[in-house]
Amino acid sequence: MRVSFLTFLNVPLPEKPETEDEALLKKWKWKLRGVKKENRERHAQRCDIELKLAVARKMREEEGFYYPHNIDFRGRAYPMHPYLNHLGSDLCRGILEFAEGRPLGKSGLRWLKIHLANLFACGVDKLSHEGRIAFTENHLDDIFDSADKPLEGKRWWLHAEDPFQCLAVCINLTEALRSSSPETCLSHIPIHQDGSCNGLQHYAALGRDKLGAAAVNLVAGEKPTDVYSGIAARVLDIMRRDAQEDPEVFPDALRARILISQVDRKLVKQTVMTSVYGVTYIGARDQIKRRLKERGLTDNSEIFSCSCYAAKVTLTALGEMFEAARSIMKWLGECAKIIASENEPVRWTTPLGLPVVQPYRKLGKHVIKTSLQFLTLQKETDTVMVKRQRTAFPPNFVHSLDSSHMMMTAVACKGAGLNFAGVHDSYWTHACDVDEMNRILREKFVELYETPILENLLESFEKSLPTLSFPPLPDRGDFELREVLESPYFFN
């Protein structure tokens, strides 16, 4: 039976029109070229899926196996096996499970239901934990049908945002609920707990930013705060005010009137996500322009002017909500510029003691002359790339902190007897151990940020480069870091 997103069957080639009309022939050639490109991509996807499944078939008879990891220069961990790993697609994650099964227990059964709702997503993952449990319990018939007849039945699991993982949980939950004692049923499913726009969580903790902390769930609430919806609401408020202005005096009033009906979390999501990586005005404009084109706007000049205006407003809203994050990013960038201007790469040591050096240097040419030809090779020079050192430092520094948090959590989980897997800001364990992992990851986050991270960074710069003068540290807010310990949606 055909499952469309799995098989990726080729698109039929368009037939050549029986005409000598150059315009029609040109249109056919463009369409033919597009279909051939699409079919090449589908062929590549089929090959990739078959490769993953071939590895899975080979390993399925093993009692268990390990994923050795490499770390990059910032300390982020990546599994070494390139094809089938938990960093991969929904298919990879759906067919991987912990080798050891553990009884669900009362807590584990609850988390399995929450996890299914998270995987189904489609807005359900924005509900409170109790709302997610209610969603799962209201769809038990669909869940049982998916487990019993995944292809022949109603195929409810295909409506999930992560269908293969959703199907795996449907099977496990069905087995548990049909048993005489659901709480003693073994579960091998890794339950994910994900950070809420994790880069901004780290910035809020660094700056003790009370407003930013509340926006990214460092503060307890009845349900998770959605930072993308929060920024969209601020953008909409600004545009509504601008729309009241006289277009003769304030030309953006016309753009505001066009965009008011277009503003939602999806329009601003990519810009908010990439704000942690120092997204520029040009980058934000291009992101929003793509969203507007997807919504059917066709006038290119109007799309361009509207995306310029929307980018400006979105960055303004971000600056208002995450003022401390902006200040820290600016300070990090200024320090990096000062260092790189002396032809030195930016260096720092993570809280775990890992030395980090940004590897961005200008490339030079090395010409090799043979009897047949000249070969030009690129090689690094001794000259650092000042702009790249500056723009890359804020995101790289925060990535070195999120990797430290994950490593601290992993070590503590091992000490507590938990099985642990992680993907940057997503931590996994057995359903029965989620409460314990949640306690550990919050304690380790507080422990990480109770150290004077920015003060230590400035001190290291001043010691290693004593002849240079660095700007003072940005002001810190009055957010009480230990509130994280009581926040149920910090990771959820």
Write out the catalytic residue numbers: 194, 269, 425
Q: Burial code of 399-438, b = ≥16 C-beta within 10 A, e = fewer? A: bbbbbbbbbbbbebbeeeebbbbbbbbbbbbbbbbbebbb
Q: The tokens of 480 are what?
A: 């009480």
Alpha-carbon dihedral sign for residues 335, 338, 339, 344:
positive
Amino acid present at 350: T
Strands in 426-429's sheet, in edge-to-edge order, are: 191-194, 426-429, 421-423
Q: Are the C-beta atoms of residues 200 and 227 closer than 8 Å to each other?
A: yes
State how far the alpha carbon of 320 is from the alpha carbons of 323, 325, 429, in Å: 6, 10, 37
List, as one string, the DSSP characters of 238-258: HHHHHHTS-TTT-THHHHHHH
Amino acid at 146: S
367: which residues sit within 8 A by CB, 6+ positions away? 374, 375, 376, 377
Measured distance CA(320)–CA(368) in Å, rounded: 54
Rg (CA), the chain: 26
d(CA 330, CA 390): 10
The residue type found at 228 is Y
CA atoms within 13 A on the CB side of 40: 6
